[in-house]
């Protein structure tokens, strides 16, 4: 199947480096990040998983649970984690799904036959507490992800869900945000007491509401 934005993230049972999980139970009421890796003991993935482990406090701050996937088995995962911890100077505490039969990869469309008939592409999904898919990013196997961008998008999604705003190009936490088209400027001035700057009738900015 092909997962699209707004779809409910399919549930599954799987063995992981930390034991068997039910995916939806693992996420609970938190936000979630599910990201796939072509295989264990690969250099790009090693750096990604190490960097993700270093971001643990950032994800806790954002009430977000991380879970990785690779098409190798639990024993390989556990041995690979030792390498990751050693080479990346960190401690991997999140689970890595063992997907030797590629059931989860196929469920989430992580295998693209034109890229590889056996290895997963480097896909990442952000899933909200209602289990809806809010972001899908797919990289080629040769290119590592930019986790600063993933944190930026997570911040944007969480802000958008709490306030009636949108975030502009290159937005970073603390920058001005955009007033959506479905809100009149007159009403915007009432709900955004910090002020509204109208550049064009369709382009209005306001300071970030939660700061």
16-35 residue pLDDT tens: 999 999 999 999 999 999 99
pLDDT value, residue 119: 55
124-166 residue pLDDT tens: 999 999 999 999 998 887 889 999 999 999 999 999 999 999 9
Question: Beta partners for 15?
Answer: 20
pLDDT value, residue 157: 98
Spell out a b/e string for 63-96, using b for 16 or more CB atoms within 10 Å of the CB, else e.
ebbbbbbbbbebebbeebbeebeeebebebebbb
20-74 residue pLDDT tens: 999 999 999 999 999 998 888 999 999 999 999 999 999 999 999 999 999 899 9
Helical (H) or strand (E) element with 60 = helix 56-61
pLDDT value, residue 142: 83
Average confidence score pLDDT of the chain: 93
CA distance 108 to 2: 7
Domains present along the chain, CATH in parentheses: 13-145 (3.40.30.10), 163-206 (3.30.1020.10)
- Tell me which residues are annotated as active site: 45
Cα distances (Å, whole numbers) of residue 185 to 159, 171, 198: 20, 21, 8
């Amino acid at each position: 199947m092909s997962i699209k934005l707004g779809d409910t993230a399919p549930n599954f049972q799987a063995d992981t480096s930390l034991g068997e999980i039910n995916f939806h139970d693992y996420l609970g009421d938190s936000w979630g990040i599910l990201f796939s890796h072509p295989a264990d003991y690969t250099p790009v993935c090693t750096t990604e998983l190490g960097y993700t482990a270093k971001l643990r406090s950032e994800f806790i701050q954002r009430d977000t649970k991380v879970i990785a996937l690779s098409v190798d088995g639990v024993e390989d995962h556990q041995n690979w984690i030792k390498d990751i911890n050693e080479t990346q100077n960190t401690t991997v505490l999140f689970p890595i799904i063992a997907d030797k039969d590629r059931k989860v990869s196929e469920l989430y469309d992580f295998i693209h036959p034109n890229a590889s008939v056996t290895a997963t592409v480097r896909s990442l999904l952000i899933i909200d507490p209602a289990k809806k898919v809010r972001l899908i990013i797919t990289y080629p196997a040769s290119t590592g992800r930019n986790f600063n961008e993933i944190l930026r998008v997570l911040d944007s999604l969480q802000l958008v869900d709490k306030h009636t705003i949108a975030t502009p190009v290159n937005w970073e936490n603390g920058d001005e945000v955009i007033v959506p088209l479905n809100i009149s400027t007159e009403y915007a001035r009432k709900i955004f007491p910090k002020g509204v700057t109208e550049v064009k009738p369709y382009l209005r900015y306001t300071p970030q509401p939660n700061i």
